[in-house]
Structure 1
Amino acid sequence: MNKTFLAAIMMATLPIACSAPSSDTAETSETAETATIVEVSDDMKLPVFTGPAGSENVAVSGYDTVSYFEGDGVPVEGSKDHRVKYNGVEYHFASAENAAKFQAEPAKYAPQYGGHCAWAASRGKLASGDPNLYAIVDGKLYLNFNQQVQNTWNEDVTGFIEKADKEFPKIPADARYDDA
């Protein structure tokens, strides 16, 4: 058996294990575009960056969030063929294996602040996060708006994370970066 086939079997049979303890649910649904999408939910109901108003409901511009943590740590684009819906937002993956890893532990792989810019979140604001401007700090993925903002954020990463951890939860769950 090849690895892709085995990963697809694992994904179909893998139990859902989210890190948040309450109201975890999982469902699968058929769509016209692809075979199956797994749905995972937990308590993380903060705003997620999915692009400007009217764009697809896809997080991290379609990049595979597991790829930031695996192999050489270089982010790769995901595919609609391998997707998981987490708290109502689609995440795309480069392989069934990566989709299965995300399905098992979505909070581990989902970017902080819903994929919004980490520096903007420290100011209580929403701005888009660029999937190519990122850092992994203490096992968590952070995105920034542009290179200039990332340079500023890099001057005091710990301080900006502390501020963002306090400010981001105050932003309404239905807020969008173009509303902030």
Structure 2
Amino acid sequence: MRGVRASKVTGLALLGLFCAAVTWAAPAEAASTERIVTDHRTGLAIAGFDPVAYFIQSRPVAGKADFEAHQGGAIWRFHDARDREIFLSAPEVYAPRFGGYDPTGLARGRIIAGEPNIWLIHGGRLYLFSRIENRDAFAANPAAFAEAAEKWPALSETLADY
């Protein structure tokens, strides 16, 4: 009887470890539901960074809670009211291309969230990357990656709606 009970306990422990490992590994590749990369707790797009600042100040700048806008199912923050108005006049220009997902991952058929501090502007659009190596690969051949990343419409359809 003890052997059966020990086997059950061991089996449950192994199942728990497996579940923990699967849960722990999940963030590397986004199993997301959003068309725009957002923080699940706050709803902030691109971790609260001002998307317009990448173009005007040529660097990531943290947005402020006083200057927010709701657009595309996400909350966007801005450094000032001017940046908020610029964004709202053309969100399709200032929002990160592919919703902030890494275009090199998309080119490979994988949905991976980009990081706001790893970025590049190409062709008048902001791209976010999950790794510096991905940004460098994209920069070496942006046209090829941008074209291959056009899998985005089909991939974005695989994201579930809430």
> Higher helix share goes to which structure?
2
Gaps of 5+ in 2: 1-33
Q: Secondary structure at the match of 1:171?
A: helix
The equivalent position to 1:115 in structure 2, one of 100, 103, 118, is 100
CA distance in 2, matches of 1:95, 1:169: 32
Aligned to 1:48: 36
| CA deviation map 1:156-180 (0-9, x unaligned) | 2110000112x1000244727xxxx
Do structure 1's residue 97 and structure 2's residue 82 form an aligned pair?
A: yes
Aligned to 1:161: 146
Q: TM-score, normalised on structure 1?
A: 0.65
CA distance in 1, matches of 2:128, 2:47: 12
CA distance in 1, matches of 2:156, 2:137: 26
Alignment check: 8 A CA contact 1:115 1:143 kept: yes
Gaps of 5+ in 1: 1-45
Q: Secondary structure at the match of 2:111?
A: coil
User: Which one-letter code corresponds to 1:115 in the other structure?
Assistant: G
Provide the identity percentage. 28
User: Which one-letter code corresponds to 1:171 in the other structure?
Assistant: L
Aligned to 1:65: 51
Alignment check: 8 A CA contact 2:120 2:135 kept: no
Aligned to 2:28: none
Q: TM-score, normalised on structure 2?
A: 0.72
User: Which one-letter code corresponds to 2:95 in the other structure?
Assistant: A
Do structure 1's residue 79 and structure 2's residue 64 form an aligned pair?
A: yes
Q: Secondary structure at the match of 1:136?
A: strand
Cα offset, 1:123, TM superposition: 1.7
> Higher strand share goes to which structure?
1
| CA deviation map 1:99-140 (0-9, x unaligned) | 011111111100001011121121222111111111111100
